Amino acid sequence: MIIFPDLPNVQVEGVEVAEEITLTLRTTSPTTPCPSCGTASSRIQSRYTRMLRDLPSVGRPLRLIMHLRRFCCQKSTCAQKIFVERLPDLCHPHAQRTKRLQQALCELGLIIGGQTGADVGSELGISGSRDTILRLVRQSHPSAHSEPHVIGLDDWARKRRLRYGTLICDLELGLPIDLLPDRSVETVCAWLLKHPSITVVSRDGSSEYASAIQKGAPQARQVSDRWHLVKNLAACVSVQLTQSLTQLRRAEQAEANTFDEQQPSPPRQSHPRTRGSETSATRSSSGANSSLRADYGTATARDEKH
């Protein structure tokens, strides 16, 4: 006989291992309190079988087959005559999954979303549809913070480019708190009117959301969400840089033109004497000297005759 350490009144009667592991369990407590009046009863009315999904074991899905009992309430004034024994440490009433499996599915939904969480969970052996995961996420926010104060509004695609809804998140808890079927002014305004505690609403640039907040929560301050704030800042910086670059280029061109106008004309440069020109000059000088010598000789001969 195998007994769960955290469930002392539950014992394992059988184990089957195939593509999935199946555990057959039954309860052993002699009495069970009535959920309405709390009176302990030992009078069994009938038995029935309940099946639960649990976290996978050694890489295989785990299924629990619970053999439970129905009891008759022994308090004559109690309105509930017949009740089923419950296992509050293992699962919720009427649930098809254990508490730990529901918690795992909820964590997947909070981290990666409904459809992606369902796909990843299927690979990990944690079964759960998209709608189941989203329902668990909606039920997971703490009841102590049931009245939100700072919320965020954004649209989500039910069918891309055709149908859009509205996602509402509690920004103080970092959790989604509601999904609206559309993003119309009337729907969002009606939801805001039911939550007068809201003081700050973060939204995108939608005029419909702005109008809905003005009508449904006029006391709330509207702020831009972080993504659109960074996007608008980047656009403004880009425009400013483009204008500054254009002005710098114009100033640089104007300075270059002014510098060219202020520069003096370059001086005329004499051509350097080449070897050919030196030879020509030498020849000219030699010719001139020969002419002078010839003239001198003629003049001397003439003087001697006289």
Q: What is the number of residues in the chain?
A: 306
Q: Which DSSP helix (H) or strand (E) runs through 305?
A: helix 275-305
3-class state of residue 275 by DSSP: helix
Same domain, 151 and 84: no
pLDDT confidence of residue 69: 93
Same domain, 16 and 49: yes
Same domain, 175 and 213: yes
Residue 196 placed within a domain: yes
Strands 200-203 and 150-159: parallel
Give the C-alpha separation, 264 to 3, whole Å: 106
Give the C-alpha separation, 32 to 79, whole Å: 17
Residue 241 placed within a domain: no
What is the CATH classification number for the domain harbouring 192?
3.30.420.10
Range of the domain at 89: 1-96
Same domain, 85 and 123: no
pLDDT confidence of residue 51: 93
Same domain, 42 and 22: yes
Residue 161 — left, alpha, or beta (φ > 0 → left; ψ -120 to 50 → alpha)?
Answer: left
Residue 199 placed within a domain: yes
Same domain, 26 and 86: yes
Same domain, 184 and 122: no
Low-confidence stretches of the chain (pLDDT < 70) are 1-6, 141-146, 259-306
Residue 63 placed within a domain: yes
Out of 227, 253, 286, pick the residue that ends a domain: 227
Residue 157 placed within a domain: yes
Residue 223 placed within a domain: yes
Give the residue carrying structure tokens 């959301």. 209
pLDDT confidence of residue 144: 46
Q: What letters, b where the CB count within 10 A reaches 16 and e where it falls short, cover 195-229?
A: beebebbbbeebebbbebbeebbeebeeeebeeee
Please give the tally of structural domains in the chain.
Answer: 3
| Identity of residue 152 | G
Out of 83, 110, 140, pick the residue that ends a domain: 140
Question: What tokens appear for 34 in the block?
Answer: 């009535």
pTM tops 0.75:
no
Residue 30 placed within a domain: yes
Same domain, 207 and 220: yes
Out of 107, 140, 173, pick the residue that ends a domain: 140
Same domain, 115 and 37: no
Strands 2-4 and 7-17: antiparallel
Same domain, 111 and 170: no
pLDDT confidence of residue 199: 93
Q: Which DSSP helix (H) or strand (E) runs through 17?
A: strand 7-17
